[in-house]
Structure 1
């Protein structure tokens, strides 16, 4: 399993890395000492698990989880037992109170392995009909049917509905793996569209409610395949 360590204390990060290497089942891809750098990397490089400290310069580990575009497994590593309730709220795999022993570390990895097997053996579920996005300090539910398209804005994306536009910290690349693929499709490096909302296509552009959206050469063939052309 691929993992990342987010920990501002170098000695603690080095110990966690040694535990990962000793386990033989974890590959440490990177170590970050602050949330901003970790978030930038993780939204571009999805991983399996984060060993996450809570208190770090500038932002907390929970701030990272709030802004992350997907949900990897998380093992909290902190010296503050008062964060146990928050850990429960965020559905983390385990809570390792520093300093922890290697034996305690292996127990957390065993929990992770059990959860991974249960997830693989569970029957597939019907794709969700909605998503939740974090915007303006709150979680907002958007029904798939209401979303016209999603547009990249650098480190942010804009969800456009007929009634309103919502901006949230995310990337088109990360969202491409999270949205309902039966309903949504990436048509350009900067756009994901709701296929059922396309009004017409002209040359290398499509139109949704009068908005012109480019179709890249790399995606044009697949777009045409997905449309019901008679």
Structure 2
């Protein structure tokens, strides 16, 4: 099955060349192309991909800024004309470093290196990461929320309300999608409409749990898993 990839590159000619390489290889499906970090982050933090082709120098922010803010860890192949970024690439544990201009064969070498690496995970989803934060889009901007500050998430149809220790945020999203992205060591789904921070539970009374005065229902389908996670026997 082809890898799903996103190209983040501000030069259209370079992005077009990468796209042709991907298509020719038959190994990669390009899902999107972005010319700046802000738009790329908005997409990437809402969609899981396998591979990121990432330029370093772009308007407004660098490729490394993007990696610092990304809510999960896809495989990364850096594309840049400046070899001095090779050390940073090593520090960020990228799969390969393509110095522009590169040949199709060099491109293939990088892709084969990625696919033959036994540590390469299948489709990197945020639900399996250990990050201490998540990015959401609210009021037209990306907001970084620390896991420890989030009390719970509540479905509101096509929107989700994030309730934190001091504020509430509403973002266009779904509980089902968030369930795939969240750090499962911190969060657990307790009802079709609620995901809660398991460390924030104050008490449980029959089919409800309480967090900082908020009453949240527990569905029969999720009750056993909650009690198991809380080591209740």
TM over 0.5: yes
CA deviations over 1:87-138 (Å, ceiling 9, x no partner): 00110000001111101101101110112x44469xxxxx99x754499xxx
Structure 1 length normalisation: TM-score?
0.71
The aligned runs of 1:154-169 (5 Å cut-off) are none
Q: CA RMSD in A?
A: 3.8
Q: CA deviation at 1:12?
A: 0.2
Shift of the alpha carbon at 1:191? 3.9
| Structure 1: runs of 5+ lacking an equivalent | 122-126, 136-141, 166-170
The residue that corresponds to 1:197 in the other structure is 201
5+ residue gaps, structure 2, are 123-127, 136-145, 168-172
Matched, 1:180 2:184: yes
Provide the rounded CA distance (Å) in 1 between the counterparts of 2:89 and 2:22: 21
Q: CA deviation at 1:24?
A: 0.8
Does 1:34 pair with 2:33?
no
Distance 1:190 1:60, change over 3 A: farther
Correspondence list, 1:66-215, <5 A: 66-115=68-117, 117-119=118-120, 131-133=131-133, 147=148, 150-151=151-152, 173=177, 176-180=180-184, 184-187=187-190, 191-194=195-198, 197=201, 199-201=203-205, 205-208=208-211, 210-215=212-217
C-alpha contact 1:176 1:186 (8 A) present in aligned 2? no
In 2, Cα distance between equivalents of 1:16 and 1:196:
46
> Does the C-alpha gap of structure 1 residues 158 and 34 become closer, same or farther in structure 2, counting only changes over 3 Å?
farther
- Provide Cα deviations, 1:24-61, integer angstroms capped at 9, x if missing partner: 11000000011111101111111000000011111111
1:48 is aligned, of 42, 47, 50, to 50
* Partner residue in 2 for 1:6: 8
Deviation at 1:148, TM superposition (A): 8.4
Query: 1:14 Cα shift?
Result: 0.1
For 1:8 and 1:79, locate their aligned partners in 2 and report how far apart those are by CA, in whole Å.
13
Per the TM alignment, residue 159 of structure 1 is displaced from its structure 2 partner at its CA by 6.9
Question: CA separation in 1, counterparts of 2:87 and 2:163?
Answer: 33
Distance 2:47 2:164 in 1: 22
